[in-house]
C-alpha cells in the first residue's frame, strides 16, 4: 500500500515505521518543520492541507497530536484539543477533495472518550463519558466526517496506556520503581487499560488489512489491571519492593486536579471487543509478560 502518515515522530510512530517498511508499504510522512526527503510533506495541523498532497494514497494513518503530559494550563488544553481536532479535520477535508479512490483511514483517538467509569466494563458500544479528555475525543472523532462521507473506511483507535521504555507513562514510572520507591497511586483501585508497544503496532497493521473493522476500535490489551496490581507487577518484574503509596491529594497538587483526575486517578476498565471478534491475537495479553518483554532484554 501507499500510505500517508502523520505523528510518526511519537512513540507509536517510531515503532510503526519499520513495521510498515517490513511489510513493503510505501510511506509518505506529513511532518511539521523542515522536510528532508521526497517522502515527507511539510504541513501545519492548524492550516488546511492541499488536496493535491493528499491524493493517490491507499491508506492514511493519522496519529498527530500534542502530548497530553505537562501541566494543563488553559493554553496547554487548547493545544491538545486543536492539534487533534483541527489537524484531523484538515487532513480529512483534503482527502475528501483530492478526488482519489477512497481507502482506509486509521485515526488516533483514546480511551479517554469513556471518562472515569469505576468498575464498569467498557466496550466500543459504551457511552461517552464526561471531562476534558472525553469531550476532546468526541470532537476528534467527529472531525473525521468529511473522509467518511467521501467513502473512506474509518477506524478510530481508542488507545489505552501504551507501554514503551522510550516514552510515556512507563518510562516516567521506572526511575522510582528501580529505586524501590514505587507503589500504588491513590486508592490503587482505579482500573488501568494498557497495551504493549508491540501489540499497538500489530493492531494498526491488522486494521489496515481487516475490512470488517470500522468505527471505534479499543486498542487495549484484553486484561486490564488495577493501579495497585500494575504497581505490584512492575515492582516484581524489577525485583524491587512496592510499599509506597502516593496519596491522591499529593498527585492533584503536583499535576493539577483536572489532569490528575483524568489520567492517573481515572478508572477505565476497557475490553477490546472488536479486535477480538475480528480474530486479532495479542502477542502480550498479560501484563507480566508484556513488562518482562520490555524490561528483561
The pLDDT score that the predictor gives to residue 122 is 98
Regarding pTM above 0.85, the answer is yes
Does 44 map to a domain?
yes
pLDDT digits (tens, 9 = 90+) for 142-196: 999 999 999 999 999 999 999 999 888 899 999 999 999 999 999 999 999 999 9
The pLDDT score that the predictor gives to residue 280 is 97
Does 95 map to a domain?
yes
Q: How confident is the model at residue 33 (pLDDT cuts 50, 70, 90)?
A: confident
Query: For a pLDDT cut of 90, what percent of the chain falls above it?
Result: 91
Phi, psi of 131 (to 5 degrees): 115, 170
Which residues 6+ apart lie within 8 Å of 89 measured at CB? Answer: 143, 146
Say how many domains are in the chain. 1
CA-closest candidate to residue 254, choices 190, 189, 185, 188: 185
The pLDDT score that the predictor gives to residue 34 is 80
Does 260 map to a domain?
no
Q: How confident is the model at residue 297 (pLDDT cuts 50, 70, 90)?
A: low
Dist CA 229 CA 287 (whole Å) = 9
Q: Is the pLDDT of residue 36 over 90?
A: no
Q: What is the CATH number of the domain that holds 134?
A: 3.40.50.720
The pLDDT score that the predictor gives to residue 99 is 87
The helices-and-strands tally (H runs, E runs) of the chain is 12, 15
Dist CA 153 CA 142 (whole Å) = 14
Does 201 map to a domain?
yes
Q: Is the pLDDT of residue 296 over 80?
A: no
Between CA 55 and CA 60, with CA 58 as vertex, the angle to 5 degrees is 80
Does 11 map to a domain?
yes
Does 248 map to a domain?
no
pLDDT digits (tens, 9 = 90+) for 211-255: 999 999 999 999 999 999 999 999 999 999 988 899 999 999 999
**DSSP H or E segment with residue 191:** strand 191-192
pLDDT digits (tens, 9 = 90+) for 51-84: 999 999 999 999 999 999 888 999 999 999 999 9
Residue pointed to by grid coordinates 479499543: 218
Q: How confident is the model at residue 107 (pLDDT cuts 50, 70, 90)?
A: very high
Which residues 6+ apart lie within 8 Å of 168 measured at CB? Answer: 11, 161, 162
Task: Please say whether the dihedral angle defined by the alpha carbons of residues 97, 16, 12 and 156, taken in this order, is positive or negative.
Answer: positive
Dist CA 216 CA 207 (whole Å) = 11
Residue 21, domain extent: 2-159+197-219+271-282
Dist CA 234 CA 241 (whole Å) = 10
Computed over every residue of the chain, the mean pLDDT equals 95
Does 136 map to a domain?
yes
Dist CA 107 CA 156 (whole Å) = 5
Does 250 map to a domain?
no
Amino acid at each position: 500500500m501507499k500510505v500517508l502518515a502523520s505523528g510518526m515522530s511519537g512513540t507509536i510512530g517510531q515503532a510503526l515505521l519499520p513495521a510498515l517498511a517490513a511489510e513493503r508499504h510505501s510511506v509518505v510522512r506529513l511532518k511539521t518543520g523542515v522536510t528532508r526527503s521526497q517522502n515527507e510533506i511539510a504541513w501545519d495541523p492548524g492550516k488546511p492541507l492541499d488536496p493535491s498532497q493528499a491524493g493517490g494514497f491507499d491508506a492514511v494513518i493519522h496519529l498527530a497530536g500534542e502530548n497530553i503530559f505537562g501541566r494543563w494550563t488553559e493554553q496547554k488544553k487548547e493545544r491538545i484539543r486543536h492539534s487533534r481536532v483541527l489537524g484531523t479535520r484538515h487532513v480529512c477535508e483534503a482527502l475528501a477533495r483530492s478526488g482519489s479512490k477512497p481507502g482506509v483511514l486509521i485515526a488516533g483517538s483514546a480511551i479517554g472518550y469513556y471518562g472515569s467509569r469505576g468498575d464498569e466494563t467498557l466496550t466500543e458500544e459504551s457511552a461517552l463519558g464526561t471531562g476534558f479528555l472525553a469531550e476532546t475525543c468526541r470532537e476528534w472523532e467527529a472531525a473525521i466526517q468529511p473522509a467518511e462521507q467521501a467513502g473512506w473506511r474509518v477506524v478510530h483507535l481508542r488507545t489505552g496506556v501504551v507501554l514503551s521504555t522510550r516514552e510515556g507513562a512507563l518510562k516516567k514510572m521506572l526511575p522510582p520503581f528501580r529505586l524501590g520507591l514505587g507503589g500504588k497511586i491513590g486508592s490503587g483501585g482505579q482500573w488501568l487499560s494498557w497495551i504493549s508497544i508491540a501489540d499497538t503496532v500489530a493492531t494498526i497493521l491488522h486494521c489496515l488489512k481487516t475490512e470488517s473493522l470500522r468505527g471505534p476500535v479499543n486498542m487495549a490489551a484484553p486484561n486490564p489491571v488495577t493501579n495497585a496490581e500494575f504497581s505490584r507487577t512492575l515492582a516484581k518484574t524489577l525485583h524491587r519492593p512496592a510499599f509506597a503509596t502516593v496519596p491522591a491529594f499529593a498527585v492533584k497538587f503536583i499535576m493539577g486536579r483536572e489532569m490528575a483526575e483524568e489520567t492517573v486517578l481515572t478508572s477505565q476498565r476497557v475490553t477490546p471487543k472488536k479486535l477480538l471478534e475480528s480474530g486479532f491475537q495479542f502477542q502480550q495479553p498479560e501484563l507480566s509478560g508484556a513488562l518482562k518483554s520490555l524490561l528483561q532484554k
